[in-house]
Amino acid sequence: MKLLEEMIRKYGEIKNDEVLLVDSFLNHQIDPQLMMELGKDFVRHFKNKKITKILTIETSGIAPALMCGYLLNVPVVYLKKSKSKILNEELYETTVHSFTKDIDYLITCRKSFLSSDDSILFIDDFMANGEACLGAIDIIKQAHAQLAGIGIVIEKAFQQGNAKVSQAGYEVYSQARISSLEKNEIQFIDESAVPRTFCGIDR
Amino acid sequence: MKLLEEMIRKYGEIKNDEVLLVDSFLNHQIDPQLMMELGKDFVRHFKNKKITKILTIETSGIAPALMCGYLLNVPVVYLKKSKSKILNEELYETTVHSFTKDIDYLITCRKSFLSSDDSILFIDDFMANGEACLGAIDIIKQAHAQLAGIGIVIEKAFQQGNAKVSQAGYEVYSQARISSLEKNEIQFIDESAVPRTFCGIDR
- Return the minimum-mean-pLDDT range out of A8-12, A20-24, A149-153, B191-195: B191-195
Residue B143's domain comprises 32-179
B200 part of a folded domain: no
What DSSP string runs through B42-83? Answer: HHHHHGGG---EEEEETTTTHHHHHHHHHHHT--EEEEBSS-
Distance from CA of A48 to the nearest CA of B (A): 20
- pLDDT tens string A74-125: 999 999 998 777 776 799 999 999 887 889 999 999 999 999 999 999 999 9
The annotation status of B13 as a binding-site residue, yes or no, is no
**Quick count: other Cβ atoms within 10 Å of Cβ B83?**
12
Inspect the interface and report whether the beta carbons of A69 and B21 lie closer than 8 Å.
Answer: no
Inform me whether the C-beta atom of residue A69 falls under 8 Å from chain B C-beta atoms.
yes
The alpha carbons of chain A give a radius of gyration, in whole angstroms, of 16
A200 part of a folded domain: no
CB burial readout B110-136, b (16+ within 10 A) else e: beebbeeebbbbbbbbbbbbbbbbbbb
Inform me whether the C-beta atom of residue A115 falls under 8 Å from chain B C-beta atoms.
no
> A-chain residues within 8 Å CB-CB of B109?
28
**How sure is the predictor about A180, in pLDDT bands with cuts at 50, 70 and 90?**
very high
Query: What average pLDDT does the segment B69-94 reach?
Result: 90
Query: What average pLDDT does the segment B160-172 reach?
Result: 96
A87 part of a folded domain: yes
A116 part of a folded domain: yes
The annotation status of B131 as a binding-site residue, yes or no, is yes
Query: What average pLDDT does the segment A2-25 reach?
Result: 97
- pLDDT tens string B90-146: 999 999 998 878 999 999 999 999 999 999 999 999 999 999 999 999 999 999 999
pLDDT at B155 over 70: yes
User: Who among B28, B32, B70 is closest to A80 (CB)?
Assistant: B28
Containing B106, the helix (H) or strand (E) segment is strand B103-110
> A-chain residues within 8 Å CB-CB of B90?
none
A202 part of a folded domain: no
**How sure is the predictor about B192, in pLDDT bands with cuts at 50, 70 and 90?**
confident
A199 part of a folded domain: no
In DSSP terms, which residues pair with B177 in a beta bridge? Answer: B155
CATH at residue B140: 3.40.50.2020
Distance from CA of B190 to the nearest CA of A (A): 29
Number of domains comprising chain B = 1
> B-chain residues within 8 Å CB-CB of A58?
58-59
Inform me whether the C-beta atom of residue B18 falls under 8 Å from chain A C-beta atoms.
no
B131 part of a folded domain: yes
B13 part of a folded domain: no
Cα distances (angstroms) measured from residue A92 to each of A108, A141, A142, B26: 6, 10, 7, 19
The annotation status of A114 as a binding-site residue, yes or no, is no
pLDDT value of position A203:
39
Cα distances (angstroms) measured from residue A96 to each of A79, A81, A101, A102, A122: 12, 10, 11, 10, 16
Q: Nearest Cα to B163, choosing from B194, B127, B192, B197?
A: B127
